[in-house]
Amino acid sequence: MNNGELLAAFKEKAVQIDAVMEADLAVVESPLLAEIIRHAIFQGGKRIRPLLTLLAASLVGNPPADTPRLAISFEYLHAASLLHDDVIDHATLRRGAETANTIWGMEPVILAGDYLHAHAMALASEVGGSTAMALIGRATAAMVESEFMQMHNARESLIAEEKYFQVLMGKTAALIAAACEAGIAHNQGSNEQRIALRTYGTNLGLAFQIVDDLLDYLGDPAKTGKAVGNDFQEGKMTLPLIKTLEKAEAKDRDVLIGLLKATSQERSRQIATAHAIIEKYQGFSLARTQAESLLAEAIAGLAIFGEAKAKDSLIGLAQYVLSRDK
C-alpha cells in the first residue's frame, strides 16, 4: 500500500472506531455530561491509540470480537487527559475549535474528565481483564508523574535532553505503548511479542511528540491550526531548542537564554531570531534525525512478526508520523 492508500485505510478504521464509541457512550445519562464527552471525543482526533490496539492485536492472529471495545478505552483515556490538561492550562483552542472549558467552564469539564477516565478503566477491565488494567494503571500513573516533572522543570530555564525525554515518556509514550501492548496481550501474544510492541509504541510516541515540536516551528498554521512558534512563545523547551543550546556558541546561547527569561510578548516578537539561531546550529534537522532513528528502532522491533498485513500498517503508521504536516 502506498501512503495515500494507507491513510485511507486508517480513516476507514477510524470511522469504525467512532461507531463503537457512539454505541458505547449511550450509557451516559445526563445530557450535559454526554454533550461534553461527545465534544471531547468527536471534535477531531486521529484515533491513533485505538488503531494501534487493533493493529497490534491483528499481528498475532484474528483478534477477538471485543477488541474494538478494549481499543476505545485508550481513546477515552487520551480524551480524559486532554479535558483536564485544557482546564489546567486555561486553554481556549484545541484542534481549531473552542475547548470544553471555554464553552462550559471548568466545573463540569473536570467531572466529565473523571467520568471518561473511570469509564475507560472499567471498560478496559471488563474486556481486557487484569492484564489490560495493569498496563493502564502504569501508563496513567506515568502520565501524572510526568506532569509533575514538567511543573518542576518549568521552574528551571534550561532543561537537559534527558529530562525532556523523561517527560515525553510519561506524557505521550506511556499510553501509546500501553495501547500497543494491550492489543498483543488481548490476543494471547507471547511475552516477547508484548515487549516488541511496547518498544514500538514507546519509540513511536516519542517520535510523534518530536514531530509535533518540529511542526510547531515549521508547520503551516493553516494545517496545524496553531500559530508558528507557539511553544517558543510560551517558553517551552522542546527538542530543536535543546539541541541548539547544546551546541551554540556563547553569544547565540545567551540570546536564546535571554529570550527564555523574557516575557512571552518579547518572545513572540523574536520568534524569527530564535528560528534563525536554531537553523544555524541545525537544531531542526538534529531533532528530525532523532525522530527518524526512534522510528527506525520502532520498526526494527517488529521483525519478529514475519509477514503480516498489520505489520505493514504499523510500519506505514510510523512512516506517516514522520511525514505528517498537521
Name which position in 9, 24, 38, 137 contacts a second copy (CB under 8 A): 137
CA distance 120 to 114: 10
Residue 126 near a second copy by CB under 8 A: yes
Name which position in 53, 101, 140, 199 contacts a second copy (CB under 8 A): 140
Nearer to a second copy, 55 or 77 (CB): 77
Nearer to a second copy, 151 or 296 (CB): 151
Ramachandran class of 132: left when φ > 0, alpha when ψ lies in -120 to 50, beta otherwise:
alpha
Residues 79-108 that bind a second copy (CB under 8 A): 81, 84, 87-88, 106-108
What CA–CA distances, in Å, run from 292 to 8, 172, 282, 319? Answer: 23, 17, 15, 9
Q: How many CB atoms lie within 10 A of CB 244?
A: 23
Stretch that binds a second copy, among 44-52, 116-124, 220-228, 292-300 (CB under 8 A): 116-124
Q: How far apart are CB 320 and a second copy at their closest, in Å? A: 30
- Reference 161, options 238, 249, 229, 274; nearest CA is 238
CB neighbour list of residue 323: distance below 8 Å, 6 or more residues apart: 3
Stretch that binds a second copy, among 119-127, 206-214, 270-278, 298-306 (CB under 8 A): 119-127
Q: How far apart are CB 258 and a second copy at their closest, in Å? A: 27
Name which position in 8, 15, 93, 122 contacts a second copy (CB under 8 A): 122
Residue 121 near a second copy by CB under 8 A: yes
Residue 125 near a second copy by CB under 8 A: yes
Name which position in 11, 152, 223, 280 contacts a second copy (CB under 8 A): 152
Alpha carbons within 13 A on the beta-carbon side of 27:
9
CA distance 51 to 171: 19
Residue 30 near a second copy by CB under 8 A: yes
Q: How far apart are CB 3 and a second copy at their closest, in Å? A: 36
Q: How far apart are CB 139 and a second copy at their closest, in Å? A: 9
DSSP symbols for 21-86? HHHHGGG--SHHHHHHHHHHHHSS---HHHHHHHHHHHHTSSPPTTHHHHHHHHHHHHHHHHHHHH
Residues that bind a second copy (CB under 8 A): 27-30, 32-33, 81, 84, 87-88, 106-108, 110-115, 117-119, 121-123, 125-126, 129-130, 133-134, 136-138, 140-141, 144-145, 147-149, 151-152
